[in-house]
């Protein structure tokens, strides 16, 4: 997968989370988890864009590690949203699977960049 495709996918992930959040019931619990999920998902896209401007191999890997952390955080909050929003399990699961795929790609890129 090339950099432009990853850029598109990370942006689409943020958009998908936004659409999900708009569909969830308005509760105090959801509001908190939604805010965290929005922050981490949008951070994935912005930090991936920063990866493309890395100044060195070490900088490239460090920026990818930030993307990895934000993807992992997104997974955590999607798990919590899944737990408390049974009516939207199918949509949450679809987004979750995309995040898992993105995470695998990022981890593989980090590992191959180190060798």
Q: What is the pLDDT of residues 3-48, one digit of tens each?
A: 999 999 999 999 999 999 999 999 999 999 999 999 999 999 999 9
Q: What is the pLDDT of residues 97-113, one digit of tens each?
A: 999 999 999 999 999 99
CA angle centred on 42, ends 40 and 45, rounded to 5°: 115
pTM: 0.94
The rounded distance, in Å, linking the Cα atoms of 51 and 84 is 34
The long-range contacts involving 58-66, CB below 8 angstroms and separated by at least 24 positions, are 60/113, 61/110, 61/113, 61/114, 64/106, 64/109, 64/110, 64/113, 65/110
Share of the chain above pLDDT 90, in %: 97
Q: Is the pLDDT of residue 1 over 90?
A: no
- Domains parsed from the chain with CATH numbers: 3-114 (1.20.1440.60)
**What pLDDT is attached to residue 38?**
98
């Amino acid at each position: 997968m090339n950099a432009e495709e990853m850029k598109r996918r990370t942006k689409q992930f943020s958009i998908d989370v936004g659409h999900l959040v708009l569909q969830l019931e308005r509760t105090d619990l959801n509001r908190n988890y939604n805010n965290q999920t929005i922050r981490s998902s949008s951070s994935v896209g912005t930090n991936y864009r920063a990866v493309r401007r890395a100044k060195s191999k070490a900088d490239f890997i460090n920026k990818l590690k930030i993307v990895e952390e934000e993807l992992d955080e997104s997974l955590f909050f999607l798990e919590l949203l899944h737990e408390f929003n049974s009516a939207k399990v199918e949509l949450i699961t679809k987004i979750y699977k995309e995040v898992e795929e993105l995470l695998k790609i990022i981890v593989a890129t980090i590992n191959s960049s180190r060798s």
